[in-house]
Structure 1
Amino acid sequence: MQGPLLTNGLIWGYDFVAGAAIALGDPEPGDAAAAAAFRWLHFNAADRGSERWIKAAALPSLVGDLLLSHDDHQRALVDGDWLACVLHDYQRELDDQKTAGVGTLRFAISDRLLLTLRRHPLRCADIARHRIVTGRCPDSANAALELLTSSVIEVMSGELQALEAAVEHIEDELLTDSLTPDTSELVAMRRRALRLHRLLAGMGTIARRLEPDSALSPLLLPAIENFAQRVAALDQGATAVQSQLRLLRDELELQTAQRTNRSLYVLSILSALMLPATLVTGLFGMNTGGLPWASSSIGTVMATLMAASSALAVYLVLRKLGFVKL
């Protein structure tokens, strides 16, 4: 999905004209304002060329500062016709392997230009480019913002679906008693669910703040409203997964407590049964004068019968009292 970096730090760029996406080479900062079509440029924030391009593009100062800032908190600002945001997304490795690491996507959009920057490869950028390559042509600011935000939503939705499937698998194991889930796996899932909830909560806060903002361009409002609704729905799902994981943890703790109680119960019964026998054998092992059957040839047999009888008597008493159900 990712091509070689260009001299200005550009990873990929497109002009959208008459329903077609035209790939760009090294557009100059001044070309963006002169472009007759809607333009989308995706930069590598780790490349110095990207910083030089942004500074030369004559963006509003607040927008340029947000794009080049090293602060990774999710936030948004409106400056004139521009909307600039910092959103979080999951990273991927260069070999297209998905990771649980969280990266930062910065973007700024006006009526004719969308700039996106990332320091590490992100899943949402790959999804957006794949849609463009396969025929999607966002020829307006609202369409481009819709494509970008829906790509972020697709990543978050995929993560939520993976968590829900894993939780259902663990629930099935508990219901069938076929296997006791690994608690370390459960802890890892709780961390993933918490991370997802935090990402979605931050996005939802941004969207809710932008919706009533009178300074926001009316062209971008439909995409922001749709984004807010979809983020809220996903966040509810992430909260539900967290609740399910808490219930699973409680169920596992209950099962562990029950197994411990059963083990302690068996040990207690065995201790009670062996205590009289131990007392009898201790008595006959004192090696003092006057012990019963000390000179008898069947003394050992009689002492053994006495120990067994005392254990049997204790068993019958415990069974009558209801402590032994066998």
Structure 2
Amino acid sequence: MFEELNAQWGLVHAFVLDGDGGATSVSREALETLALGPGQSLWLHWDRSHPLARRWLRERSGLSEFACDLLLEESTRPRMLALPDDELLLFLRGVNLNPGAVPEDMVSVRIFASARRIISLRLRPLHATDELIEQWGRGTGPRVASEMLLYLAEHLTDKVDSLVADLSESVDEQEEELDNNPRFRPDHDLMLQIRRRAAGLKRFLAPQRDIYGQLARSRMPWFVEDDSDYWNELNNRLTRYLEELELIRERIGLVLESESRRLGERTSRTMYLLGITTGFFLPLSFLTGLLGMNVGGIPGSEAPFGFLAACGLMLGIAGFQIWLFRRLRWL
């Protein structure tokens, strides 16, 4: 009920975390007089393109003009920025799972985080937030702001896992066919597309991995005690994904190189056979051309067995050539 009313203001989700793994949805109007109780935290998720959301952020969020400018930037790479009073600005990327979208066309989420408040902004729908709400419904969601930040990053990372696995499986299929079928030709368009997708993912995952590493080392005062271990694990997971993406690009290079080598070998073999065939018929062609000149004095032109003698001579030359080619191991 609240979500439909909040959408008119550009507010996608608004929840008060109860500190025990659950959360309660609140309306946009209630934010004006909302007072958090002990152990409670607030999460606001806004549609960055909505004019009222942008207005609320600048006029009623309490954030500095500098922070608002960064959160509303049109294009931002993943990064982390520490603000005064132990506050954070995070810019993260996630896999685009929206219908009709290309997964590696990453969706962006901009986050302001403090001890008891999380403000996030997105331009396109983010499926990770839906999974968080489901966890709260089961009473197993994040309890405080630091866990909320961690859970959101974890869900974004989970989506990368399946995408990298799909890319790897596509390359596996091409490699298997190439090994088992000598006549198989890899799909060059598919291989180049996978290479571009892997490069696009690496572009955003590499700085995001560094962000997780910084969060693992930062140990903000409002972080839960074991948060650093989880941030470090996310850093390791992204490192593994980046290594897998680099391996995928190398494997694609080997597949294309193998196909190029096979094509070169087939071309060389074909040219070799054509050369042997040309060399075999060249003396015979010379002889038939010589005997076929329409001039007087051609040997055997008046003999009744001249044609048979010429055929026998050509057969003899052909037999000598076959012996010579086998002797030279050309055949």
**Range class of TM-score, shorter chain:** 0.7 to 0.9
Please say if 1:12 is aligned against 2:17: no
Deviates more, 1:252-261 or 1:202-211: 202-211
Quote the Cα distance in structure 2 between the aligned partners of 1:305 and 1:5.
100
For 1:183-202, what aligned pairs fall within 5 Å after superposition? 183-202=188-207
How big is the shift at 1:159?
A: 1.1
Aligned residue in 2 for 1:84: 89
One of 277, 288, 291 as aligned partner of 1:284? 291
How big is the shift at 1:254?
A: 1.9
Letter in 2 for 1:174: L
One of 29, 52, 55 as aligned partner of 1:52? 55
In the alignment of these two chains, the number of paired residues is 322
For 1:249-260, what aligned pairs fall within 5 Å after superposition? 249-260=256-267
How big is the shift at 1:277?
A: 2.0
For 1:1-326, what aligned pairs fall within 5 Å after superposition? 6-17=7-18, 18-27=20-29, 30=32, 34=36, 37-55=40-58, 56-79=60-83, 80-93=85-98, 95=99, 99-133=103-137, 135-177=139-181, 179-213=184-218, 217-219=222-224, 221-324=228-331
SS in structure 1 opposite 2:196?
Answer: helix
TM-score calculated relative to the size of structure 2:
0.85
Residues 1:211 and 1:24: Cα distance change in structure 2 (over 3 Å): same
Note if contact 2:146-2:222 (Cα within 8 Å) is conserved in structure 1: no
Deviation digits for residues 209-233 of structure 1 (CA, Å, limit 9, x no counterpart) = 4444476754464543332222222
Note if contact 1:89-1:123 (Cα within 8 Å) is conserved in structure 2: no
How big is the shift at 1:35?
A: 6.3
Residues 1:264 and 1:301: Cα distance change in structure 2 (over 3 Å): same
Letter in 2 for 1:66: L
Deviation digits for residues 29-74 of structure 1 (CA, Å, limit 9, x no counterpart) = 5456646622222221111122112112112343322211113222
Note if contact 2:104-2:200 (Cα within 8 Å) is conserved in structure 1: no
SS in structure 2 opposite 1:100?
Answer: coil
SS in structure 1 opposite 2:155?
Answer: helix
How big is the shift at 1:301?
A: 4.4
How big is the shift at 1:109?
A: 1.4
Residues 1:129 and 1:98: Cα distance change in structure 2 (over 3 Å): farther
Deviation digits for residues 104-162 of structure 1 (CA, Å, limit 9, x no counterpart) = 22112112222221112344444444544555421112221221111111111111111
Q: Gapped runs of 5+ residues in structure 1?
A: none
SS in structure 1 opposite 2:105?
Answer: strand
SS in structure 1 opposite 2:211?
Answer: helix
Deviation digits for residues 267-316 of structure 1 (CA, Å, limit 9, x no counterpart) = 12211112122212222332222223333455444444434433332222
Residues 1:126 and 1:189: Cα distance change in structure 2 (over 3 Å): farther
Quote the Cα distance in structure 2 between the aligned partners of 1:143 and 1:288.
103
SS in structure 2 opposite 1:292?
Answer: coil
SS in structure 2 opposite 1:70?
Answer: coil
How big is the shift at 1:28?
A: 5.6
Identity in percent: 23
Letter in 2 for 1:195: G
Note if contact 1:143-1:223 (Cα within 8 Å) is conserved in structure 2: no
TM-score calculated relative to the size of structure 1:
0.86
SS in structure 1 opposite 2:296?
Answer: coil
Q: Gapped runs of 5+ residues in structure 2?
A: none
Note if contact 1:29-1:54 (Cα within 8 Å) is conserved in structure 2: no
Residues 1:251 and 1:227: Cα distance change in structure 2 (over 3 Å): same
Residues 1:20 and 1:126: Cα distance change in structure 2 (over 3 Å): closer
SS in structure 2 opposite 1:91?
Answer: coil
Letter in 1 for 2:242: D
Residues 1:229 and 1:292: Cα distance change in structure 2 (over 3 Å): same
Note if contact 2:164-2:241 (Cα within 8 Å) is conserved in structure 1: yes
